[in-house]
Amino acid sequence: MIMKYFIPTLLIAAVFIGCNQPEQVPEQNIQKASMHTHQTVNAQADSMDGYEVQMTEEQWRERLTSAEYRILRNRGTEMPYVNKYYDSKKEGVYYCGACGQPIFTSNTKYESGTGWPSFWKPIKPSVVSEKKDESLFMTRTETVCSRCGSHLGHVFEDGPEPTGLRYCLNSLALDFKPMSLADINTDTLSIIKITKD
């Protein structure tokens, strides 16, 4: 009977601890990361004031699959290593899975060893916002889309140079469009229309 509850609890703990624990990172990267600045939004997670895209929760449920809604709107976390983009090596652009804003490129994606897609820099600082996250008995920095406020994942100060940051994201929070990055200007990328198959 104890094993019935122990194994699911252990799996849940592994998911939440995993995104916090990358492969060994040299101490100098952690120290240098604290010198970098990133946009922080002091707002409650459920507050949508100030976002360009405003929808009711019913509208979000109609727009997103139930799994996407759990991640993007309810701040969920998907399982590591069994998600769509954690090991993708394709060239292209990652968009917010809720509103279609371009947020990361494959040029800044790297293997963090956590089992989630990880990036060391967004396309530009203005496309992501950050919130203090004190859930699960720890303090982390939540990363949200600056256009719609949807949950993407978390950012940590243990990533590679040149930023020292690790944006640890959920694949279900992203849409990927393969394209040659040599042929585009990431500063002028358009917002895509989200269509679900």
Q: Prior bond to 162 cis, omega within 30?
A: yes
What pLDDT sits at residue 1?
Answer: 52
Question: Does 22 or 43 have the greater pLDDT score?
Answer: 22
What pLDDT sits at residue 172?
Answer: 97
Catalytic residue positions, numbered: 168
- Cα dihedral 162→164→165→171 (10° resolution): 70
Question: Does 24 or 164 have the greater pLDDT score?
Answer: 164
pLDDT in tens, 70-119: 999 999 999 999 999 999 999 999 999 999 999 999 999 999 999 999 99
What is the C-alpha separation between 89 and 71, in angstroms, rounded? 23
What pLDDT sits at residue 186?
Answer: 80
Question: Can you list the domains of the chain with their CATH numbers?
Answer: 2-188 (2.170.150.20)
pLDDT in tens, 116-159: 999 999 999 999 999 887 777 788 899 999 999 999 999 999 99
Question: For residue 78, with 0-12 CB atoms within 10 Å meaning exposed, 13-18 middle and 19 or more buried, which class applies?
Answer: buried
Q: Among 2-16, 32-46, 132-146, 176-190, name the one with the lowest average pLDDT.
A: 32-46
Please state the pTM of the whole predicted model.
0.77
